[in-house]
């Protein structure tokens, strides 16, 4: 199963001929079952002892592991290139928190974070880890010279970046960032939510820990909340320990839904990339649009990096409405969003539906107005996550709403 599309369908599934409970099955389900049991029994207490002690593979208690959850984890680990183990969590933020703990962000340490980081991740670092004595410093990770200088200056424990940033869609040069980070003995943590393993596998490019909000593209249908961390030694042992102790494990039903969604990731992501490219191309010359952000556009600052490191341009587009009066920008953005008929107004992304949001009042709401302005998250900025509808219908809806903005 070398090809990505084939692994997406088959990885993690149990196949005939394997023994289950000591007896060979005469039949088997072709869909991974939902194992809702909180506790697992064994033929003898000696077996239970070995399983709890880690001497024998198996399941004992729901907080330690579950067959349905493990199947999803094995599938995702395969899609990430089998460079480490995958650990599923109840949300993307829970996964991010665990990843940062695994990177040993302890009192007195410093973490270097991308300026272009998701607002809640930045808040997690500053407020939660800050309260624990961790100092967070920010840097423009698309300026490799600045990153190198900052790493030398602060000697961080970890560097935290995103494959494709939110909402301006800047593309990080993961191989170069890994080289800079490792030279300083630090850990590179990459949020690959926007990229997914379909577009990039950061562990193959030198990253140490990869995080996903599986709520988004991986599951893809807007019907579950989940997160995943993928990492090899020594981080995998720390992740397993954190999950057991803190108890943020993904529930079996959500794991089943996520695994079902994972099987169509290549089909969905391919279509979403095509739709986003088509929408961006049409918006570039629209009189009511001042600026378009999409890595496939030749004037995008990271166009070359995207072509070199991504297997597609991504399924998101962000753009600024052409409104000169700053006092009217939010009003115009709200008017545009309220005029949409096909596109769904919702603060998420990666679904089969096309979703549209106002980043300043959603994903970056927790940041101060001044910080949003420095990051380029303006009041007239719109982000659209393209779904799998026909691209002409998406474009028509957006163009119709623009006339009313």
* pLDDT exceeds 60 at position 72: yes
- Among 7, 170, 216, 378, the one annotated catalytic: 216
What is the secondary structure of 146-191 as a DSSP string?
HHHHHHHHH--SEEEEESB-TTT--B--HHHHHHHHHHTT-EEEEE
216 is catalytic: yes
Q: How confident is the model at residue 16 (pLDDT cuts 50, 70, 90)?
A: low
The whole-number pLDDT of residue 215 equals 98
- pLDDT tens profile 337-356: 999 999 999 999 999 999 99
Pick from 279, 312, 320: which is nearest to 295 by CA? 312
Residue bearing the bigger pLDDT, 171 or 28? 171
For residues 170 and 301, is the Cβ–Cβ distance under 8 A? yes
- pLDDT tens profile 312-332: 999 999 999 999 898 899 999
298 is catalytic: no
Sign of torsion, CA 356 359 361 364?
positive
Q: Which domains does the chain have, with CATH numbers?
A: 4-262 (3.40.640.10), 265-402 (3.90.1150.10)
Give pTM, 2 decimals. Answer: 0.94
20 is catalytic: no
The whole-number pLDDT of residue 15 equals 65
- Looking at residue 204, the DSSP 8-state letter turns out to be G
- Among 85, 150, 157, 191, the one annotated catalytic: 191
191 is catalytic: yes
Distance CA 116, CA 382 (A): 16
Backbone angles phi, psi at 33, to 5 degrees: -70, 155
Q: How confident is the model at residue 20 (pLDDT cuts 50, 70, 90)?
A: very low
Pick from 323, 313, 315: which is nearest to 291 by CA? 323
- pLDDT tens profile 251-262: 999 999 999 999
Backbone angles phi, psi at 132, to 5 degrees: -95, 10
Q: What is the rounded average pLDDT for all residues in the chain?
A: 94
Q: How confident is the model at residue 24 (pLDDT cuts 50, 70, 90)?
A: low
């Amino acid at each position: 199963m070398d090809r990505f599309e084939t692994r997406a369908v088959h990885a993690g599934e149990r196949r005939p001929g394997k023994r289950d409970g000591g007896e060979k099955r005469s039949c088997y389900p072709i869909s991974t079952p939902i194992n809702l049991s909180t506790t697992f029994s064994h033929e003898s207490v000696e077996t239970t002892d070995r399983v709890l002690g880690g001497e024998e593979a198996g399941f004992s208690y729901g907080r330690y592991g579950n067959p349905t959850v493990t199947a999803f984890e094995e599938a995702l680990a395969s899609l990430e290139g089998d460079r480490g183990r995958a650990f599923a969590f109840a949300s993307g933020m829970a996964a991010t928190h665990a990843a940062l703990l695994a990177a040993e962000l302890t009192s007195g340490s410093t973490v270097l974070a991308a300026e272009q980081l998701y607002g809640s991740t930045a808040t997690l670092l500053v407020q939660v880890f800050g309260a624990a004595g961790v100092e967070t410093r920010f840097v423009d990770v698309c300026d490799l010279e600045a990153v190198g200088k900052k790493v030398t200056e602060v000697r961080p424990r970890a560097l935290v970046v995103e494959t494709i940033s939110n909402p301006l869609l800047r593309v990080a040069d993961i191989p170069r960032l890994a080289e800079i980070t490792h030279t300083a003995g630090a850990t590179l943590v990459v949020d690959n939510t926007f990229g997914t393993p379909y577009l990039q596998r950061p562990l193959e490019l030198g990253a140490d820990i990869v995080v996903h909000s599986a709520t988004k593209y991986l599951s893809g249908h807007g019907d579950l909340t989940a997160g995943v961390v993928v990492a090899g030694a020594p981080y995998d042992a720390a992740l397993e320990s954190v999950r057991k102790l803190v108890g943020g494990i993904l529930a079996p039903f959500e794991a089943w839904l996520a695994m079902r969604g994972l099987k169509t990731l290549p089909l969905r992501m391919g279509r979403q990339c095509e739709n986003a490219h088509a929408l961006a191309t049409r918006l570039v010359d629209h009189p009511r649009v001042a600026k378009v952000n999409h890595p496939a556009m030749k004037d995008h600052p990271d166009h070359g990096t995207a072509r070199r490191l991504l297997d597609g341009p991504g399924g998101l587009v962000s753009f600024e409405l052409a409104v000169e009066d700053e006092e009217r920008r939010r009003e115009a953005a709200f008017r545009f969003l309220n005029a949409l008929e096909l596109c769904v107004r919702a603060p998420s992304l990666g679904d089969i539906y096309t979703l549209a949001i106002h980043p300043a009042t959603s994903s970056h709401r927790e940041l101060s107005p001044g910080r949003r302005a420095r990051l380029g998250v303006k009041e007239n900025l719109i982000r659209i996550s393209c779904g799998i509808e026909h691209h002409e219908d998406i474009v028509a809806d957006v163009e119709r709403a623009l006339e009313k903005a």
